[in-house]
Chains A and B, each alone.
Chain A
């Protein structure tokens, strides 16, 4: 069992299949379904990734969907080094008249 009752999990659903979507969409969007993710506590006795389960969301709503993640977490970060921006501060300080030199 990947998840037991009460575990914090993430579920997935297809809200609208591509043929059910609004008519005024660009072609690339029309070709794909409208998908949804939500999180909550597993209400079923136990489940594996891929099972259709029911959750109670943090505010208490009940939603059904496919179990995709147990104990979901965020991993967004401060990105990688972007050397391209490093000139900005040094150049501006230089242009502003060597503020630092006054203190030397």
Chain B
């Protein structure tokens, strides 16, 4: 690691006052410390914000608020989450390992960087790590890369499982800036597509931090599923993952949500497929039709054409599992 100054802030405004272009905030450290060891992140100063932000899960008028410092494990075990937003718990438990889930914060989970192997290898070109150096993955080992929403500058995918569930549930992110002002960003607008600025993962303003996540009350506590296909059974990033949920009237789908990880630079919503599912009978034929809609315009890389049939299968599996979560 490059040498750095270390300090602790006990309040958000205090932390925000310390923020400049060479400062980084640290909470769980599960991604940042790793990036610093690899010389991918080289902050000159580090601010510990674990005591500066809320670490509670609290009810709000419209639903629930998850403090940025809530760790993954308590999030997955929270009785309200399990009762009303079980998809969140399911997605959290599909990610990382128990040790990492004990450390990793909710805010940090949103900010984690891609796991593209070239991003992690500082001896190779990578536009996300070093803008303008080129994308090694496009002509290289791109088995894990994106199949939708990518650009000719970057084909990396977002690694989070939690974020896929939060995207599916239309969560929003409360952001606090230097002036103390709170602002809400819808979850699907938070993460970015790579475009010509792949170095920017999200739309978090430079002088702001994530205060909390809000999820509104919804009808997806009964029929939900999170399916993650990976090279090993646990402790691996997704080849593709699917968060699915719907509510039923008899056997008719009233409203459905469908999102994926491992396919794009951000958690990806399959809006057209969701639309299709509305009002349909919840059966295998419907699920297959919805999956076919989701996969119809995807453009895989040289080594990940398999992600299309795999995604189709994972969507069908997830929708089927929604019937018996």
**Is chain B found bound to chain A in the same assembly?**
no
